[in-house]
Amino acid sequence: MNQILKNKRALITGGSRGIGAAIVKRLASEGADVAFTYANSPNRANEIVQAAEALGVRALAIQADSADASAVVGAVEQTVDKLGGIDILVNNAGVLVVAPIDDITLTDFDRTLAVNVRAVFVATQAALKHMKEGGRIINIGSTNAERMPFAGGGVYAMSKSALQGLVQGLSRDLGPRGITINNVQPGPIATEMNPSEGEFAEMLKKQIAVARYGTAEEVAGMVAYLAGPESGYITGANLMIDGGFSA
C-alpha cells in the first residue's frame, strides 16, 4: 500500500469482525494508527490488534457497547489519549433486527436507534472536539436506506435512512472547518452474519446487477479512499457499494 494515511489516527466502531475488521486492517495497511471498539470477544479483538501491529502501526482495542453513549464518548477519549489525536472516525457499529412489525418490541426499536443512529451522533460530536482541518468522518450506512426488498426490515431501513439526513446536514456545519462527512452504503456483503450462500442469499443475488455478494475488503477500499487526501471534495454524500442492488 502507499501509506497515504501515515501519521493519521483513526477510530473505527465495531471493528473486531466483518466489515469493521476489514476497515481496521485496510487503514492500518495504509499507515494509519488504529483504535477500534468491540462489544464482545476480546480474543478476536486481540487478533485484529496483532494484525494491525504487524503492519507497523499502533493499534488499540476498546471494549464499548455503542448503545451506551458514555462508553462511546469514552472510546473517543481513549483514542485521543493513547494515539495523540483523532483524524478519522468510521462509524461502523450497527445492529439488525428483522421481524414482522407486530413482533418488533420497543426494546428492539430503541436499541436499533441507539446503536445505528444515536451512537453515530455521539461519536461524531465527541470526535469533533479534537478533529482538525482535513478530518474525515465516514459512516457505514446501508443500501436499505433506499431499497428494502423484503418484509421485516422497516426499522433497520429507517435507522440507515436517518444517516443520510445527518451527513447532508452536518456537511454544511463541517465544510467551513475543512472536515468531510459521508456515508458508505453497502449492499449484500459476505460476512459471518450475512453468508453469501443459502436460500436467502440466492434470493438477493437475483436482485444484484453483478449477481454476487460483495466483500468486506471492497467496502474497506472505499472507506480508505474517503479517508485519504484525494477525497477532500466529497462531503454530504451517500455512496452506494452494492453491485447494482439499488439500480
Instruction: With beta carbons less than 8 A apart as the criterion, state whether 181 and 131 touch.
Output: no
- Record the cell numbers describing residue 52, joined without a space: 494491525
- Residue 51's closest CA among 70, 23, 73? 23
- Record the cell numbers describing residue 238, joined without a space: 451517500
Is 156 labeled as catalytic in the residue annotation? yes
Out of 156, 213, 225, 233, the active site residue is 156
Alpha-carbon distance of 54 to 32, in angstroms, equals 13
The helix (H) or strand (E) run that includes residue 161 is: helix 154-174
- Residue 34's closest CA among 192, 51, 113? 51
Alpha-carbon distance of 202 to 159, in angstroms, equals 25
- Beta partners for residue 247, in sequence order: none
Q: Where are the beta strands (DSSP E) in the chain?
A: 9-12, 33-38, 59-63, 88-91, 136-140, 180-186, 189-190, 214-215, 238-241
Those residues with Cβ within 8 angstroms of residue 22's Cβ, 6 or more apart along the chain or in another chain = 215, 216, 217, 219, 220
- The residues annotated as belonging to the active site are 156
